[in-house]
Structure 1
Amino acid sequence: MSLSIFDASIPVFLRGFDNFSAMLAKGEAFAQEKGLDPRTLVEARLAPDMLSLAGQVQRASDTAKFCAARLTATDGPSFDDNEANFAELHARIAKTVTYLKSIDASAFDGSEERRIVLKRRQGEVTLDGRSYLLTFALPNFFFHLTTGYDILRHAGVPVGKSDFLGPL
């Protein structure tokens, strides 16, 4: 049996969000333990022109939910990008996970050949569903998870590779 587009996307996103949520919890506990204002972590960024930790959660959420929507030819939910604390970041992830879990695997049937059009600054890019998932959506999702991890780690939160990978 071959690997389906559903299997290569939804379970991967769900696992990533489980791990991201656990890392955020460690960040929240770290702030409390050190007497830091938690907003300093939520607003932290690696460079001035990069998104904050909140922005990384928002973009990971958008990447996963709009990937699922594009591959199933449906409309994904739109969320305001206004999360300002750890509780709101956890809620954003929870809403995304609820949406992803609501999609039946059969909705992905034929999605490997579905035409996906991305509007980029450089113009439109058209990919088939397989290429879209493997060359854009998954790498983009993991970019934002990794950058969120890096922000927490750079701020001193005791997270490591095993936190990023999660339990096996």
Structure 2
Amino acid sequence: MQLTMYALTVPAFTRGFTALNGLLDKAEAFAADRGTSLAELFDARLAPDMLPLSGQIQRASDTAKNAIGRLTSLEAPRLPDDEQDFAALHERIARTVAFIETVKPDDLDGSETRDVTLSFPNLKVTFNGADYLLQFVLPNFYFHVTTAYDILRHKGVPIGKADFIGRLG
């Protein structure tokens, strides 16, 4: 397989969201088996200044769909951060993946040289597409997927590395 912007985005995002769905499934089964409140898991966070599980999934979604939007001429769907339960988190993942699956390799052709400007409260940064993907998007996406995993693991959900990595081959 040739290493392309498509190969670095669509399959990686899809795999990450498949893992997140599996983690949520295991968390729901854990809560049912233990009599734990799903709300406790939904709102769990690793530290007071970090986003809860729901926020981690929202940010993973935003990172993936907005990256596709910035790197292509496709308009990323706007998804309000109003999920209130696990079913809504699964739905957000499904909507994000549905958008990502509309992307064709041709949509990302040449995006490695496209300028992408991000504005933060005290900083404005312009990347070329390749640097944007490699230095911002992928680290940010995996940070939020990993943090969701870590929150659930910390709360006792029986998950392991294989649940994060997914099926090989």
TM-score norm. by structure 1 comes to 0.97
| SS class of match (2:126) | strand
- For residues 93 and 128 of structure 2, what CA distance do their matches in structure 1 show? 27
Q: Which runs of 4+ in 1 moved over 3 A?
A: none
The residue that corresponds to 1:155 in the other structure is 155
TM-score norm. by structure 2 comes to 0.97
- For residues 157 and 144 of structure 1, what CA distance do their matches in structure 2 show? 17
| SS class of match (1:164) | helix
Asked if 1:134 is matched to 2:146, the reply is no
CA RMSD of aligned residues (A): 1.0
The residue that corresponds to 1:25 in the other structure is 25
- For residues 150 and 32 of structure 2, what CA distance do their matches in structure 1 show? 19
Deviations 1:80-131 (A, max 9, x none): 1011111111000000000000122211111000000001123210000000
The residue that corresponds to 1:101 in the other structure is 101
Query: Residue type matched to 1:111 in 2?
Result: S
- For residues 73 and 102 of structure 1, what CA distance do their matches in structure 2 show? 12
Q: Which runs of 5+ in 1 are unaligned?
A: none
Deviations 1:24-60 (A, max 9, x none): 1000110111111101100100111100000000000
Q: What is the CA distance between 1:73 and its match in structure 2?
A: 3.3
- For residues 116 and 74 of structure 2, what CA distance do their matches in structure 1 show? 12
- For residues 42 and 24 of structure 1, what CA distance do their matches in structure 2 show? 10
Q: Which runs of 5+ in 2 are unaligned?
A: none
Q: How many residues align?
A: 168
